[in-house]
Structure 1
Amino acid sequence: MRRVEHVMGFPVSLRIDDEGFAGADAVDALFAWLREADARFSPFREDSEVCRLDRGEPDPDPPTPELTEILALCERYRIATGGAFDVRPPGRRLDPCAVVKGWAVQRGAELLRAAGARRFCLNAGGDVVAAGGPWRVGVRHPEHAGRLCTVLELTDGAVATSACYERGDHIIDARTGRPATGLLALTVTAPTLTEADAVATAAFALGREGIAWAAARPGCEVFAVTAARRVVRTPGFPTAGRARGTAA
């Protein structure tokens, strides 16, 4: 089973290799959940929960459990990075996208698992959750769009990359209020995309010191390209061998 939709501002592709998997309803639920997450937590939708909170216009009830969880994750990484990662830096609006994307896609993957899917690859704008692999995942070169800088292998886990090649200097070091420097790209593998995506962005905000910071996170492995074009790879980073499929 394969399906591709444009959700949350990027293409989301799903490949399920389970023969006999009859989970079309679960796939529908996955994409419906991603659309719901975008509507509720996007900083670009004026009627979203995030924008209402940012304007100081919360609902009569307290923030929903999901928004409370997202904001708690944001605060955890703000503290862990000494303030380099901050979803509300001075003078800017609340923007939890760095946490919401991985968190929402990971929840979607859990919907598939609950429906019985065991072999699948869910690719959300280049960030991937894989199960039942191994799967080969190509990481885009930070300076050459048509090339890969590495290929890794995932069995059950996730990978996320932070870089400037799609949205320019959009990752801010909140300690200075200026775009983060020191890295061209940083890729993190972790047990879940919730962690891989947040750690990759937080580490990028830290700059060169973010490589060691990310590598010290439990369960995380790192592949980074510094601003000096030096490649740094942690010993446990899963380099590719023979695998079932590909995702880029």
Structure 2
Amino acid sequence: MRENRFRRLIEVQQIMGMPISVHVILGDLDRDRDTPAVGRATGHAFDDLREVDRVFSTFREDSDIRRIARGELDLADADPMVAEVLRESQAAEAATRGRFSAWWQGWFDPTGLVKGWAVERAAARFLRPLLAEPLVEAAGINAGGDMQLLTAPGSAWRWHVGIADPDDRMATLATVDVGDGAVATSGTGERGQHIIDPRTGRPATTVRSATVVSDRLTHADLWATTAVVAGFDDLGWLDEARSESGMLIAPDGRIRRWTGSTEVTVTERAG
């Protein structure tokens, strides 16, 4: 089935300080049929993301994370999501060999992990069941450019994800096709030098943009950030990441690409 025979339903809401969009793909032969399950699933996904923000936001003084930091709330009494993210954060710090740490400021702040975890969770809980609906070909969530994407078994749909030039957001440097999986990008292109190396407490500056493709957005987002912290010249983390593919862009425009744990060398043709 050609892509122009599909139609896309999109809803966007502002959550976690960014636009988050839910995309559901239907076949156009079903254009006149109602899809109430899509509306329900989309609403539940947004509600779930708002609840995660209520628990983990560092900008809300009443969030569980801020109350824990102030000593007003014990971990055992916090929302059960906190314990789950705590386990993910501990595993992430070990896997990245300290390139990621939720404790580098002296208190538990999993901001660098929780967005990907939350989007992956909402997609699994509320969008994946939609794939059993006869009208639905695919569904996904895009949170500020980080995406968890799902496709129904047997569907011809593929998500075509463009990797933007960090110096020209209208230009695309590469495109990756995804069936079921996740794509995450970190770097200085959107928010400047905001990624801190937890080992030094200083901004990571040698990667302009890092994109990682993986099966889970929790992992893709974590390893994209890790790539920025590791630096353009260090791909020693690829074995631990177990990503499907990815790309680094240096501030001077140099590019490194990989598939699995193997770097792909691109030789420019003379003339």
CA distance in structure 1 between the partners assigned to 2:196 and 2:140 by the alignment: 30
Q: Which amino acid in the other structure matches residue 68 of structure 1?
A: A
Cα RMSD after superposing both structures: 2.2
More deviation, 154-163/141-150 = 141-150
Distance apart, 1:160 and its partner CA: 0.1
Name the structure 1 match of 2:225.
201
Question: Retained in 1: the 8 A contact 2:243–2:260?
Answer: no
Name the structure 2 match of 1:243.
none
CA distance in structure 2 between the partners assigned to 1:208 and 1:43 by the alignment: 30
Answer yes or no: is 1:11 the counterpart of 2:30.
no
CA distance in structure 2 between the partners assigned to 1:235 and 1:219 by the alignment: 8
Answer yes or no: is 1:47 the counterpart of 2:71.
no
CA distance in structure 2 between the partners assigned to 1:77 and 1:184 by the alignment: 22
CA distance in structure 1 between the partners assigned to 2:239 and 2:76 by the alignment: 40
Answer yes or no: is 1:35 the counterpart of 2:54.
no
Question: Retained in 2: the 8 A contact 1:84–1:206?
Answer: yes
Distance apart, 1:205 and its partner CA: 1.6
Name the structure 2 match of 1:57.
72
Distance apart, 1:214 and its partner CA: 3.6
Name the structure 2 match of 1:142.
166
TM-score by length of 1: 0.86
CA distance in structure 1 between the partners assigned to 2:68 and 2:57 by the alignment: 12
TM-score by length of 2: 0.79
2:102 is aligned, of 78, 87, 110, to 87
CA distance in structure 2 between the partners assigned to 1:4 and 1:172 by the alignment: 30
Answer yes or no: is 1:97 the counterpart of 2:97.
no
Answer yes or no: is 1:68 the counterpart of 2:83.
yes
Report which structure shows greater RCO (CA 8 Å, sep ≥6): 1
Q: Which amino acid in the other structure matches residue 54 of structure 1?
A: A
Percent of aligned pairs sharing the same letter: 37
More deviation, 199-208/211-220 = 211-220
Q: Which runs of 5+ in 1 are unaligned?
A: 238-248
Name the structure 1 match of 2:259.
235
Secondary structure of 1:83's match? coil
Distance apart, 1:191 and its partner CA: 0.5
The alpha-carbon distance between structure 1 residues 212 and 220, as it changes in their structure 2 partners (threshold 3 A), is farther
State which structure, 1 or 2, has the greater radius of gyration over its C-alpha atoms: 2
Secondary structure of 2:68's match? helix
Q: Which amino acid in the other structure matches residue 13 of structure 2?
A: E
Question: Retained in 1: the 8 A contact 2:166–2:190?
Answer: no
CA distance in structure 2 between the partners assigned to 1:87 and 1:60 by the alignment: 15
Q: Which runs of 5+ in 2 are unaligned?
A: 1-8, 152-156, 262-271
More deviation, 123-132/59-68 = 59-68
- Count of residue correspondences: 236
CA distance in structure 1 between the partners assigned to 2:36 and 2:90 by the alignment: 39
More deviation, 51-60/153-162 = 51-60
Secondary structure of 1:208's match? coil
The alpha-carbon distance between structure 1 residues 26 and 90, as it changes in their structure 2 partners (threshold 3 A), is closer
Distance apart, 1:79 and its partner CA: 2.0
